[in-house]
Amino acid sequence: MPRNDHRAPAAIAIPAARPRVVVYVTREEPLTGADQLLVFDLPAEPAFSSVVPGGRLEPGETAEEAAVRELREETGLDIEVVRELGVAKQPSWRVPGLRDENHFFQATPTAPTPEAWDHEVEGDVFRCRWVPLTPDTQVYGRHGAFLHALWGNADPLGESLRRSIPDS
């Protein structure tokens, strides 16, 4: 721009965030039947504790497909999506001034899992663990927005299936 041009510079456009998924993986504790939620910690980054798995959608991917992919990438688990709990526009936790459109899902593992395990991805360790799912459960950031939809309801399909099978 020439020195004597007093026009205001063009505004810098902040790109819209791609939609994200947040996945509450739930199970019943094998011995007690208590509801549990899967979280992970990043030992190399202590501020990231009790993180709920999730991430951004890839181009052409549905939110449900992203939930399955992100879980496999971050935890090594294969999951089955049970239901979408809702969508919330929340401040981005990585880019100040940006808002994310978070799609919250409930899912269950497709096979039994250990109580805790480490999953390594490109040198990063995800320390996965199950925590009790109660009204007091706290997770990293604002990703607890739909936890209330799970209290006492970690396995709604399994419970409804059990109720529909007549006693012998």
Extents of the domains making up the chain: 20-153
pTM of the prediction?
0.79
Topology classification of domain 20-153: Nucleoside Triphosphate Pyrophosphohydrolase (3.90.79)
Structure-block tokens of residue 122: 């490109």
| C-alpha to C-alpha distance for 113 and 166, rounded to whole angstroms | 29
The pLDDT tens digits of the residues spanning 58-104 come to: 999 999 999 999 999 999 999 999 999 999 888 776 677 788 889 99
What is the per-residue DSSP string for the chain? --TT--PPPPPPPPPPPPPEEEEEEEEE-TTT--EEEEEEE-TTSTT--SBPPEEEPPTT--HHHHHHHHHHHHH---EEEEEEEEEEEEE-SSSTT-EEEEEEEEEEESS---SEEEEEETTEEEEEEEEE-STT---STTTTTTGGGTTT-S-HHHHHHHHHSPP-
pLDDT tens, residue order, the chain (168 aa):
444 555 545 555 555 666 999 999 999 998 999 999 999 999 999 988 999 999 999 999 999 999 999 999 999 999 999 999 999 888 776 677 788 889 999 999 999 999 999 999 999 999 999 999 999 999 998 889 999 999 755 444 444 333 333 333
